[in-house]
Amino acid sequence: MNFDQLKEQWNNEDSSSVHIPNTIEQLKKSKHPIEKIRKSMKSEFPMQVMAIVLIAFFPQLLHFPSSQYIIYYTSYAMLVVISSYYMYGFYKFYKQTELYTGNTKNSLWKIYHELKLNMERYQSFGFLLLPHFMITLGMEFYKILSKKGMSLENMTDSYQRALIISVLVGTIAIVINIVLWTKYIYGRQAKHLENILNETDE
């Protein structure tokens, strides 16, 4: 086969079999969910900071005895340390999304896996709030018992059942809300990115 024949075959090649432009368009689509993720993170960060600050005033808002402040604020100090670690990771991921250009599949995969990792970290952070919730709930029950002239030693069966049910319901409610909130804020965008990546593999 000579050069002229090769040239003729090249010119007659069906260009529709080349999928690169389509792939590039699919990768560009990913900027849309990433921009949504950035927008959610940007609005959520100050809300989280405000929530942590507000929690500091719970003893005053709930009228806990001043003698119990040391217990509450010891737990709160641990909460602040854990929150600071999480928020640093939150900020690092936010900065990573700024570097994404949408022109390579590898960078999209990296963002997708980082998003999934941060979703798990987000949920773990929420679950770490449970001990502080338990301490706050216990102090609220103690306050109620004190007003009625009772103590933990002579607490009636009805109060014991109420305490157990409150802890159980509160724990389940917090876990469910954390999972649903994570899926609502970031789950849809993660699924969108996953669909785009699956399309580029076809």
- pLDDT tens per residue, range 79-122: 999 888 888 888 888 888 777 655 567 777 888 888 888 888 88
**Would residue 35 count as lying in a domain?**
yes
Task: Quote the number of domains for the chain.
Answer: 1
What are the phi and psi torsion angles at 163 (to 5°)? -65, -45
Q: pLDDT: is 172 or 19 the higher one?
A: 172
Asked whether residue 16 is domain-assigned, the answer is no
Mean pLDDT score of the chain: 78
Q: Answer yes or no: is pLDDT of 74 > 90.
A: yes
Give the total residue count for the chain: 202
Contact at 8 Å (CB) between 22 and 200? Answer: no
Q: What is the pLDDT of residue 14?
A: 47
Q: Using CA atoms, how far apart are residues 139 and 145, in angstroms rounded to an integer?
A: 10
Mean pLDDT of 27-38: 70
Is residue 6 pLDDT above 60, yes or no?
no
**Does a structural domain hold residue 11?**
no
Query: What average pLDDT score do residues 137-156 get?
Result: 77
Helix ranges (DSSP H) in the chain: 3-11, 20-29, 31-55, 58-61, 69-99, 105-127, 130-147, 157-182, 188-201
CA distance 103 to 108: 8
Burial class (CB in 10 A: 0-12, 13-18, 19+), 193: buried
Let me know if residue 96 belongs to a domain: yes
Angle at CA of residue 132, ends 80 and 122, nearest 5°: 60
Residue 133 has pLDDT above 70, yes or no: yes
For residues 138-142, give the mean pLDDT.
83
pLDDT exceeds cutoff 60 at 5: no
Q: Which two tokens stand for residue 38?
A: 């950035």
Neighbours of 120 (CB within 10 A): 11
Task: Note whether residue 1 is domain-resident.
Answer: no
Cβ atoms of residues 111 and 96 within 8 Å: yes
The pLDDT confidence band at residue 188, using thresholds 50, 70 and 90, is confident
Tell me the pLDDT band of 27, cut-offs 50, 70 and 90: low
pLDDT (mean) for 1-26? 48
Does 5 map to a domain?
Answer: no
CB of 10 within 8 A of CB of 156? Answer: no
Q: Is residue 43 part of a domain?
A: yes
Kindly indicate the confidence band of residue 18, based on its pLDDT and cuts at 50, 70 and 90: very low
Residue 60: per-residue pLDDT: 92
Residue 2, classed as helix, strand or coil, is: coil
pLDDT score of 146? 79
Query: Binning pLDDT at 50, 70 and 90, where does residue 53 land?
Result: very high
HSE (side-chain half, CA atoms, 13 Å) at 154? 6
Which domain range does residue 130 map to? 23-201
